[in-house]
Amino acid sequence: MIDWQTEAKKRTEELFTDLFTMLHIDSERDVEHSTTEFPLGEGPAIALRQMLSLAERDGFKTKNVENVAGRIEFGAGDETLGILAHVDEVPAGSGWDTDPFEPQVIDGKLYARGSADDKGPMMAAYYALKIIKELNLPVSKQVHFILGTDEESEWAGITRYLEVEPTPDFGFSPDAEFPIINGEKGIASFLIEFKPELTTNGEIRLLKFDSGLRDNMIPQTATAIIEGYELDNLSTEFVAFAAENGLVADAQVEDHQYILELTGKGAHALEPRAGVNAATYLATFLNGLDLDLAGKQYVQVIADHFHLDSRGAHLGIKTTDDLMGELTASPDIFHYRVGEISDIVVNVRFPQGIAAEQITKLMEQAINHANVSSKIFGRVETPHYVSADDPLVKTLLSVYERQTGNKGKEQVIGGGTYGRILPRGVAFGAQFPGRENVMHQANEYMPVDDIIAATAIYAEAVYELIK
């Protein structure tokens, strides 16, 4: 009998040394500065190389696929278990109490961008494999520990990997929650475009509206610039509006131009209710002003169709499935410039029974303006489900139950993980039930004890799957 928890605890210091090394790297996808050597930016490639270097140090065979993905290999056999993790992270954003790339342990919590999503879980799964190797346990299957570099955006790295490298027969991604995620909603983003066909003349003009970092992050801040006269009470009204709704306001005046900024709460777009969308609140405030027609249309569409409606009712796309639950809609990127094409990017997590093509048509019909259109924006992920009766699901749940003493059950989420790239792929940990979900938020953290506990669970689970 192997005491997996003891084996994990033995390696605590070494594990956190390696994890800190990875967390120091800002590995946000950066295609704006891409090169032939670094197609997705230098940061993701540096993180990939670093992780492969750690594995080589520990005696694993590795492969770097064009600096966009990689593999750590272990074992031998006719079947291959895939462990699918990612080295990239979302932008750090604002609102941090610590430096997001200087990891710190405070009150038992490891704070850093990527600590929970996905470098902490990734390192736990890697050390699980390392434990099996160091114990020299007999195995009958191969393990391909696959590393992607842009899971938080377009999945170009993992897509390229699957084009040129073998696909595992089954596997899991350490990038979600325990006890298991064996179902994931479909995911698609949509571009709502406003053609500049309405007049921009008026006593109060909207000159600019900006908010959002990524289409899978609820925007924490939003800024608008308006121009007008006789707005003496605007700043006072704006601050009062923010206070009433639990946001923070900042108003500045420069030559009859008012710069208005709201700060809410960022969160992962998979559950919009977890955040406070600064952009929809700002648009709602501006909708109460007598703006020019073009500006008025932009903020009114936001206020009428997106504000405080995370289930898509006001977009005509509200959908519920008995297995996968409710559709969610999160407007995450906003861009308005007076006299130019303006847009909104909305991220939708949808269950079985509705398709992305149908969603975009319904949204356009609901908004119902001749100069406003909707189209699919980027990659579409269809709903994914692995039966609770599958041996993979049963094995992972039994290990979770054995180590935690808690009952395991199947779950479906709105998040998207690499688990869905395999027909028999699931997500497994590393967030434990009842823990605060801080992924994609400022002050992201993962409890230190949870990382070690996850390492033990992963070690036993991997061994059960490949022995």
* 254 pLDDT more than 90: no
Q: Are 108 and 213 in a shared domain? A: no
pLDDT above 90 for 41: yes
CATH code at position 90: 3.40.630.10
What's the pLDDT at 229? 82
Q: Do 430 and 357 share a domain, yes or no? A: no
HEC per residue, 51-103: HHHHHHHCCCEEEEECCCEEEEEEECCCCEEEEEEECCCCCCCCCCCCCCCCC
Task: Please check the confidence at residue 82 and state whether its pLDDT lies above 90.
Answer: yes
- Residue 41 shares a structural domain with residue 172: yes
Average pLDDT, stretch 79-91?
A: 97
Q: What is the dihedral of CA 22, 23, 26, 28, to 10 degrees?
A: 90
The residue among 321, 352, 376 that closes a domain is 376
Residues 153 and 210 in one domain: no
Residues annotated as part of the active site: 88, 151
Same domain, 256 and 360: yes
Helix (H) or strand (E) holding 207: strand 204-211
Spatial CB neighbours of 246, under 8 Å, sequence gap ≥ 6: 264, 276
Q: What is the pLDDT of residue 255?
A: 81
Q: Please state, in angstroms and rounded to a whole number, the distance separating the CA atoms of residues 462 and 399.
A: 10
The contacts of residue 410 (CB under 8 Å, 6+ apart) are: 180, 182, 183, 388, 393, 397
- CA dist 364 and 194 (Å) reads 11
Cβ atoms within 10 Å of 116's Cβ, excluding its own = 29
pLDDT-derived band at 415 (thresholds 50, 70, 90) equals confident
For residues 406 and 386, give the distance between their C-alpha atoms in angstroms, rounded to a whole number: 22
Average pLDDT over residues 282-287: 98
Q: Are residues 304 and 206 in the same domain?
A: yes
Q: pLDDT-derived band of residue 435, with 50, 70 and 90 as boundaries?
A: very high
Last residue of a domain, one of 376, 409, 443: 376
* Same structural domain, 199 and 89: no
Tell me, yes or no, whether 256 and 289 share the same domain.
yes
DSSP string, 139-154: -SSEEEEEEES-TTTT
Evaluate if residue 438 carries a pLDDT over 90.
Answer: yes
What's the average model confidence in pLDDT over 200-206?
95
Interval 272-297 mean pLDDT: 97
* Cα(207)–Cα(342) distance, integer angstroms: 11
Higher pLDDT, 254 or 163: 163
Provide the pLDDT for residue 392.
98
With pLDDT > 90 as the criterion, what percentage of the chain qualifies? 97
C-alpha 361/C-alpha 353 separation (Å) is: 15
Is the sign of the CA dihedral 124, 168, 183, 319 positive or negative? Answer: positive
* Parent domain of 83: 4-185+383-466
Whether residue 125 is found in the same domain as residue 249: no
Give the end of a domain, one of 354, 376, 398.
376
- Burial classification of residue 335, based on how many CB atoms lie within 10 Å of its CB (0-12 exposed, 13-18 middle, 19 or more buried): middle
Together in a domain, 363 and 219: yes
Note whether 147 and 22 are same-domain residues. Answer: yes
Which contacts qualify for 387-390: CB closer than 8 Å, 24 or more apart? 387/182, 388/182, 390/182, 390/424
Q: Which residues contact 272 (CB under 8 A, 6 or more apart)?
A: 218, 310, 328, 329, 330
pLDDT in tens, 310-344: 999 999 999 999 999 999 999 999 999 999 999 99
Region 262-266: what's the mean pLDDT? 97
* Tally of structural domains, the chain: 2
98: left (phi over 0), alpha (psi -120 to 50) or beta: beta
* Residue 231, pLDDT score: 87
Same domain, 447 and 389: yes
